[in-house]
Amino acid sequence: MMIYMPIAAALLGLIYMLIKRSWVMKQDAGDGKMKEISDHIYEGALAFLNAEYRLLAIFVVIVSIALFVVSVFVETTHWLIVIAFIFGAIFSAYAGNVGMKIATKTNVRTTQAARTSLPDALKVSFGGGTVMGLGVAGLAVLGLTAFFIFFYQYFMGGVWTATGTKDMTVVLETLAGFSLGAESIALFARVGGGIYTKAADVGADLVGKVEAGIPEDDPRNPATIADNVGDNVGDVAGMGADLFGSYVATVLAAMVLGNYIIKDMGGSISDAFGGIGPILLPMSIAGVGIIISMIGTMLVKIKSNDAKETQVMGALNVGNWVSIVLVAIACFGLIKFMLPEQIAMKFFGENLNEAGKSMPIVIDSMRVFYATLVGLFVGGVISSITEYYTGLGKKPILKIVQQSSTGAGTNIIAGLATGMISTFPSVLLFAAAIWSSYALAGFYGVALAASAMMATTAMQLAIDAFGPIADNAGGIAEMSEQEPIVRERTDILDAVGNTTAATGKGFAIASAALTSLALFAAYVTFTGIDGINIFKAPVLAMLFVGGMVPVVFSALAMNAVGKAAMEMVEEVRRQFREIPGIMEGTGKPEYDKCVAISTKASLKEMMLPGVLTIGFPLAIAFIPMIFGMNHLAIAEMLGGYMAGVTVSGVLWAIFQNNAGGAWDNAKKSFEAGVEINGEMTFKGSEAHKAAVTGDTVGDPFKDTSGPSMNILIKLTCLIGLVIAPILGGHSDETITAEEVNKNVIQVNVEDTTENNVALNVITLKEENL
Amino acid sequence: MMIYMPIAAALLGLIYMLIKRSWVMKQDAGDGKMKEISDHIYEGALAFLNAEYRLLAIFVVIVSIALFVVSVFVETTHWLIVIAFIFGAIFSAYAGNVGMKIATKTNVRTTQAARTSLPDALKVSFGGGTVMGLGVAGLAVLGLTAFFIFFYQYFMGGVWTATGTKDMTVVLETLAGFSLGAESIALFARVGGGIYTKAADVGADLVGKVEAGIPEDDPRNPATIADNVGDNVGDVAGMGADLFGSYVATVLAAMVLGNYIIKDMGGSISDAFGGIGPILLPMSIAGVGIIISMIGTMLVKIKSNDAKETQVMGALNVGNWVSIVLVAIACFGLIKFMLPEQIAMKFFGENLNEAGKSMPIVIDSMRVFYATLVGLFVGGVISSITEYYTGLGKKPILKIVQQSSTGAGTNIIAGLATGMISTFPSVLLFAAAIWSSYALAGFYGVALAASAMMATTAMQLAIDAFGPIADNAGGIAEMSEQEPIVRERTDILDAVGNTTAATGKGFAIASAALTSLALFAAYVTFTGIDGINIFKAPVLAMLFVGGMVPVVFSALAMNAVGKAAMEMVEEVRRQFREIPGIMEGTGKPEYDKCVAISTKASLKEMMLPGVLTIGFPLAIAFIPMIFGMNHLAIAEMLGGYMAGVTVSGVLWAIFQNNAGGAWDNAKKSFEAGVEINGEMTFKGSEAHKAAVTGDTVGDPFKDTSGPSMNILIKLTCLIGLVIAPILGGHSDETITAEEVNKNVIQVNVEDTTENNVALNVITLKEENL
């Protein structure tokens, strides 16, 4: 029965989403002008989605054919992977669609609600976010679980037999198609969306603010609608697809590793879940996570109409932290309920038998629970780190502000240095998380740490999507010339939204990092290679190449923004020149043309980085294959490449996100005024101009190239996982129960209370040998 | 006898150096004003050196005590390592001293020579560079060889016995102290020097050019002497110590790997070199390289007084390329002469025997020669890549110039993107070099590729040191108000010097990368670990941590420049305020105070990055040791850390060097005028101002943080090598000659002519198994 629980939870989440959606849609959408602007944004968003879908359709067809050809020639790959891939793409695209639509409908309703009160405005905007969050999480879990059940029935008749491990491997390999489909959409949404949002932003500003001297969000600017559409494309659809992909991939990787737990326990276990408890566990956590997130979103509310940023942020924090605590409790219960009291797993290189073969170690399954706590801890702490390095009023920002007084050059250096230094605590946190969750429960522990962290995805996305909705609501208030109090209220929401945007990026990169590690572990296990030894020169060479790819990818993404923005600039200039009365407000700008240009340019410009992402791992796998190189050697090289991309990608993501966020808030600091060398300095000062330059550099960093790293590292590892069956030996060596009994080493739960959890596996091993 | 050849070559080089030096010193040093300025620079340089030496002395004492303590407690470490360490530091420091002194004496003589003719000016300035180059290379080879002979006598009585491999390991481990000493000096010279040069530069410009409105190199600016000293400190002493360290470390690593060749051949070989041909070979190549470089420097000359940049560059290129070709020929001869016709070595993971133990493969020793060609190829091509991305008139520079027209923001983005994209060809080149030299002759091949590349060190340094000498000569011409023709001539030399500075950085990072790889291989072999498997979570975690360190190091270095520059700014402001008549030229600025501030600030600010560099590997090795972790597991973790630092450090070095170089030349492009959107644009335009901002950001990139990466990665790997005996098992398993004969696989030289050299080892193996 437990196998259906996640589906039930997903459906429950989707039903709640529908109820919430109809509630949001029933809210007052305001009067003529507001509605008109909102409709423009809505239509612009739809235009982007439709263009994206057309391109996507072509992409999906090509990849499907390639996958099908592979499945025909490679015995270990089943053609059903094509179906899974297509559905993964469709589900993710549909989730993005739901999110974009609700976001572009909620913005104007938030403006309208802000005319009455701040609590109402929060309720509406966060309601929209909730729809987005539950839509993404619900569809992800629904799709993945449904396909798992289908494949489990199809390949195994829903029963674990003597060849269970091997059959389940086929099930999960086929299921990887779903994840690949989802992540492919994320490539388009995150990278394409990232280029779109900044091209429109820069284009609108360069001609509007700088050349024509009209304010931001001025309806006379033809690019202003594209700019507002961009907020949704990048921050709503992009982030949604990113987390959809992480969610699915994390659960999948954990299932793969769960399958090997069963193998290490002698090939089968008997439990109340058809003997597949360790495989079902990650799905169950994901399912329960949806219900918990639902509860969390209900807690987000404020009462006072005079509330400030702190109270609004506090309301979001209550919802977030309650969700995290509830997930921890749920993990405890589910692990106690679903896992055998003790499980066996191999720790690489530990507990070798006489033949030098690594033998499983039996551990208390509570250690898996501790690993999930590690994941939840990382999810919480990474946000704090991000907030420290990018938050208004924090030391790093104040330093950048000071450095702005000596010009743009020093401002830029300070911002770059801030982003670079921020990698220090972040990477130490990740490294500690990898080490400790592995020491607790092997790579299954790492994958479950990621799963637990991702369980609150719906809540995270609700908080994330609320930001751009509030941003849009402010834009609509400005464009429709509302009373100042309305803009004041939306500004409070917007300011909170800026903070959540930064911390959300922290969560997204942490999730991408852990997901990639889990995928990496699943990859190695799938291929059955003997670890990844960087003392082999080809592997080391690929580590270098992998390290380089995120750097080049980032540069391409940044250049893409520049090119797309230039096309936008020319179009806006043309309209100012050719449409009579446009500056007087009598001529009507052709908003749709600007939207079309952003759409086209962004999708065109994402091609090259996309090809780089997909092409490199394929080239590394297939070119040496043509030359007849040993498949396992290739698998190891590809593993080295994956590690290089992940390590370098995580670094560049943190660096770029935080540098960009820091520049942004350094610039914003001037709005309220800052003290530089004892003097209060405001907007319009030379120092402020320097800070604006910094923000220009930071924009593509934080909204295009930085977040794209998430997709790059996940997609790289997923492609590896999908081609693993072609490379891998599907190592047949099964360890019999007797062998396990003879070789196992018992690690008791009491040992985990020792000072050094990380080391006790090793210590114990030595004592026993 | 061959063992003394490198010493003889080194002595010959040093004698030639002395002759050349006395020739340079005999040249006319010009009249009063010129001499006065030159003396100021000379004294400033000495002041820096003396301050550096004081700090160094403390550092050397501390490290010596630490090393001594280790040698008392760790059986495998001999106390003589302390002596080697101290001498390594002294030799490197003395080489820097020689270089700094001659550079600061040659500058004014170049100015004086430029009053007569351009060919004379080149002869004098390049003569100074030659002294520097031969001094560094000569002392490096002399010191290393002398200590090797001493230890060889001391530990082995100069004879290879049955325990040869083990005894030689002790010899080479003790010799590693010399390399560690040399590289420690490089830390001070490169990082401290890098901070010094930019702090003085920025400080002088900010108050002089920007606030007081006086031109660059104006004698009224109190910081102008510090600025000129900085050129020598950073580009002469820093680069010299960097290459001194690479030279020594590369040869050492190749010797370590040579020792394992003998081991893999059954524990001893009989040749005309006391059975240590493979160990002597790298030293011999280094020795011959000195003679060849000497010849190369003699070829650098021009005849026409009307020569332009192209001809001067051409003259340098002739010398450089002739050296490279001669080294290739010498490598052929030496390898033919010194190596047995066939040698045996292990290729990791290949040719396993029944017990899964890796067995040696016999290869034709000509393959080692092919590997040296790979190294020479890399050295040549990396310079071309660097020149493409940073050269005046090249496409990337023109693009940055175009992007300057829309402001500093777009200029910065374009520069960053250029630096980032330049990692693409560079890393692919390195990856191909690693792979192919390994496929040819294992890690011995990689180390010898590096050795061959480094053989032309003296020539490279001569070219490198010539740049700052010419730069200084121009400064002196300006300050002493020479006729325009003099400045014109020095400007030609200076322009060429700027190009060689960029390509020299390319050579330095390539050498650092290959050196680190060779050290990495030596480390793994020393510790006797079973490769470095990143599928073990602690190793993977350390790979992440290692990847982060170069990023944080760079940020610290950049911030250090900012802080040191601020101290300088305040001092210059104070002098302008307090010294009467300073602006009218009647009051005399206190140059020495500025020099003192730069010196103190730079040495103070290099502490934190220095501690980071040395502290991390020590912490990774010793903290887990305290907790009782298995030593081999620690060795593997440290290996992961080293790989992370190397991969990330190489990337950040290329990125920062090339971005900085590109911004610099984009700014310089405006001097001759550039076409932007069909209009000629010059200095003083808005676009030029944007380019100046870019250059401000690029300055610490290319002169401080970028080049520091070389030291970071080499020192990290060297520290690993020095503590390897503490971690390593000194694996005793010797492979007997019978075992070798039973298990070896013959790889004939004909196979290398096949299309795919990289794969044939593997292919052959499969056929044989």
Lowest-pLDDT choice from A45-49, A507-511, B266-270: B266-270
Contact criterion met (CB < 8 Å) for A763 and B628: yes
Q: Does B551 reach chain A within 8 Å, measured CB to CB?
A: yes
Q: What is the pTM of this model?
A: 0.91
B640 within 8 A of B546, measured Cβ to Cβ: yes
Q: Which of B45, B110, B119, B206 is nearest to B476 (CA)?
A: B110
pLDDT digits (tens, 9 = 90+) for A346-363: 776 666 666 666 677 888
| Contact (CB, 8 A) for B339 and B278 | yes
Q: Which of A423, A517, A759 sits opposite B551 (nearest CB)?
A: A423
Measured between CB atoms, does A344 come within 8 Å of chain B?
A: no
**Chain segment B462-472, per-residue pLDDT in tens:** 998 888 899 88
Please tell me the predicted confidence (pLDDT) of residue A760.
36
Check whether A646 has a pLDDT greater than 90: yes
Spatial strand order in the sheet of B361-364: B342-345, B361-364, B746-747
Mean pLDDT value of segment B29-39: 84
Give me chain A's average pLDDT, please. Answer: 86
pLDDT of A673 > 80? The answer is: yes
* Confidence bin at B182 (pLDDT 50/70/90): very high
Q: Does A533 touch chain B (CB under 8 A)?
A: yes
Statement: residue A730 has pLDDT above 60: no
Nearest by CB to residue A551, choosing from B420, B556, B559, is B420
The DSSP annotation for A194-258 comes to HHHHHHHHHHHIIIIIIII-PPTT-TTSTTHHHHHHHHIIIIIIIHHHHHHHHHHHHHHHHHHHH
Name chain A contacts of B431, Cβ cutoff 8 Å: 541-542, 544-545
Which of A420, A533, A555 minimises the CB distance to B531?
A533
Which positions 621-640 of B are in contact with A (Cβ < 8 Å)? 624, 627-630, 633, 639-640
Chain A positions in Cβ-Cβ contact with residue B209 (cut-off 8 Å): none
> Region A372-401: what's the mean pLDDT?
91
pLDDT digits (tens, 9 = 90+) for B543-579: 999 999 999 999 999 999 888 888 888 888 888 888 8
A430 touches chain B (CB under 8 A): yes
**Structure tokens, A191:** 């990278």
Is residue A52 predicted with pLDDT exceeding 60? yes
Do residue A647 and residue B651 have CB atoms under 8 angstroms apart?
no
Give the tens place of pLDDT for each residue, B190-226. 888 889 888 888 888 878 877 778 877 788 888 888 8
Q: What whole-number distance in Å separates Cα of residue A695 and Cα of residue A412? A: 9
CB-based contact B431 A534, cutoff 8 Å: no
- Condensed to tens digits (0 to 9), the pLDDT of residues A151-188 reads 999 988 888 887 778 888 889 989 999 999 999 988 88
Write out residues 442-501 of B within 8 Å (CB-CB) of A.
443, 446
Res B118: pLDDT: 92
Would you call B655 and A551 a contact, using CB atoms and an 8 Å cutoff? yes
Q: Could you give the CA distance from residue A702 to residue B466 in angstroms, rounded to a whole number?
A: 42
| pLDDT in the model for residue B765 | 40
The answer to whether B423 contacts A524, with C-beta atoms less than 8 Å apart, is no
Touching check for A246 and chain B: CB below 8 Å?
Answer: no
pLDDT at A260: 86
In chain A, residues with a C-beta closer than 8 Å to the C-beta of B694 are 409
Q: What is the pLDDT of residues A519-540, one digit of tens each?
A: 898 898 888 787 888 888 899 9
Residue that wins the pLDDT comparison between B752 and B496: B496
Distance from CA of B157 to the nearest CA of A (A): 34
Three-state secondary structure string covering B407-425: CHHHHHHHHHHHHHHCHHH
pLDDT band at B349 (very low <50, low <70, confident <90, very high): low
pLDDT band at A3 (very low <50, low <70, confident <90, very high): confident
- What is residue A663's predicted lDDT score, i.e. its pLDDT? 93
Kindly list the distances between the CA atom of residue B337 and the CA atoms of A685, B330, B334, B441, in Å, as whole numbers in the listed order: 72, 10, 5, 17
A655 touches chain B (CB under 8 A): yes
Strands, DSSP E only, in B7-164?
Answer: none
B window 664-693, beta carbon within 8 A of A: 692-693
Of B437, B545, B559, the CB nearest to A427: B545
Is the distance from CB of A679 to CB of A210 less than 8 angstroms?
no
pLDDT grade, residue A269 (50/70/90)? confident
Cβ within 8 Å, pair A532-B534? yes
Q: Cβ of A428 and B696 within 8 Å? A: no
- What is the per-residue pLDDT across B111-135, written as a single tens digit (0 to 9) for each? 999 999 999 999 999 999 999 999 9
Phi then psi for residue B339, to 5 deg, are: -95, 150
CB contact under 8 Å between A648 and B650, yes or no, is no
| Angstrom distance (rounded) from CA A267 to CA A160 | 10
Partner residue facing A434 (CB), from B540, B647, B759: B540
Chain A nearest CA to B292, separation (Å)? 31
Does pLDDT of A762 surpass 60? Answer: no
pLDDT at A351: 64
Using the Cβ of B562 and the Cβ atoms of chain A, whether some distance falls under 8 Å is answered with yes
CB contact under 8 A, B535 and A555: no
In whole angstroms, give the CA distance from residue B612 to residue B709.
12
Is residue B473 scored above 80 in pLDDT? yes
Q: What is the mean pLDDT of residues B53-62?
A: 88
What residue of A is the nearest CA neighbor of B541? A431
**Residue B754 CA from chain centroid, whole number:** 35
Cβ within 8 Å, pair B697-A413: yes
Q: Is the model more confident about A449 or about A213? A: A449
Do the chains contact at B647 and A651, CB–CB below 8 Å? no
**A537–B443: do the CB atoms touch at under 8 Å?**
yes
Judged by CB atoms closer than 8 Å, whether chains meet at B431 and A624 is answered as no
Average pLDDT over residues B666-682: 86
d(CA A428, CA A417): 18
**C-beta contacts of B682-690 below 8 A and 24+ residues apart:** B686/B405, B686/B407, B687/B401, B687/B404, B687/B405, B688/B404, B689/B408, B690/B404, B690/B405, B690/B406, B690/B407, B690/B408, B690/B410, B690/B411
Q: State yes or no: pLDDT of A376 exceeds 90.
A: yes
Is it the case that residue B58 has pLDDT exceeding 70? Answer: yes
> Closest by alpha carbon to B236, among B88, B327, B135?
B135
Pairs across A and B, CB distance < 8 A: 239
Report yes or no: A660 at the B interface, CB cutoff 8 Å: no
Q: What pLDDT does residue B758 have? A: 36
A443/B537 Cβ within 8 A: yes
Does A562 touch chain B if contact means CB atoms closer than 8 Å? yes
* CB neighbours of residue A66 within 10 Å: 13
d(CA B610, CA B195): 13
* Residue B73 touches partner A, C-beta closer than 8 Å: no
Residue B753: the pLDDT is 37
Instruction: Show the domain range for B624.
Output: 2-25+34-768
Mean pLDDT throughout B496-523?
87
Q: What is the mean pLDDT of residues A26-50?
A: 85
Residues of B in contact with A418 (CB under 8 A): 555
For residue B676, the SS3 value is: strand
Q: How far is A23 from chain B (nearest CA, A)?
A: 44
According to the model, what pLDDT value does residue B742 have?
54
Residues in chain A with CB shorter than 8 Å from the CB of B521 are 535
Rounded to a whole number of angstroms, the distance from the CA of B521 to the nearest CA of chain A is 7
Those of residues 346-375 in B touching chain A at CB distance below 8 A are 348-349, 356
Looking at the predicted structure, is the pLDDT value of residue A753 above 60?
Answer: no
Can you tell me the distance from the alpha carbon of A106 to that of A100, in angstroms, rounded to the nearest whole number?
10
Answer yes or no: do A544 and B430 touch at CB < 8 A: yes
What does each C-alpha distance from B511 to A512, A747, B421 come to in angstroms? Answer: 35, 48, 21
Q: What is the pLDDT of residue B296?
A: 93
pLDDT at B151: 92
Per the CB < 8 A criterion, the answer to whether B658 and B422 are in contact is yes
A417 touches chain B (CB under 8 A): yes
Number of domains in chain A: 1
Asked if the C-beta of B403 comes within 8 angstroms of chain A's C-beta atoms, the answer is yes
Inform me whether the C-beta atom of residue B763 falls under 8 Å from chain A C-beta atoms: yes
**Among A201-205, A639-643, B291-295, B750-754, which stretch is predicted with the lowest mean pLDDT?**
B750-754
Q: Which pLDDT does position A305 carry in this prediction?
A: 85
Mean predicted lDDT score pLDDT of chain B: 86
Rounded to the nearest angstrom, the minimum Cα separation between B239 and chain A is 24
Mutual angle of helices B164-186 and B706-727, in 10-degree steps: 150
Percentage above 90 pLDDT, chain B: 41
pLDDT at A600 over 60: yes
**Chain A positions in Cβ-Cβ contact with residue B410 (cut-off 8 Å):** 562, 696
Tell me the mean pLDDT in the region A410-430.
94
Confidence band, pLDDT 50/70/90 cuts, at residue A763: very low
Of A275, A297, A88, whose CA–CA distance to A184 is shortest?
A88
CB A603 within 8 A of CB A192: yes
| A431 and chain B in contact, CB less than 8 A | yes
ipTM for the complex? 0.90
pLDDT confidence of residue A349: 61
What's the confidence (pLDDT) of residue B352?
Answer: 65
Are B639 and A348 in contact (CB < 8 Å)?
A: no
From the list B428, B443, B556, the residue facing A545 with the nearest CB is: B428
Contact status of B653 with chain A (Cβ, < 8 Å): no
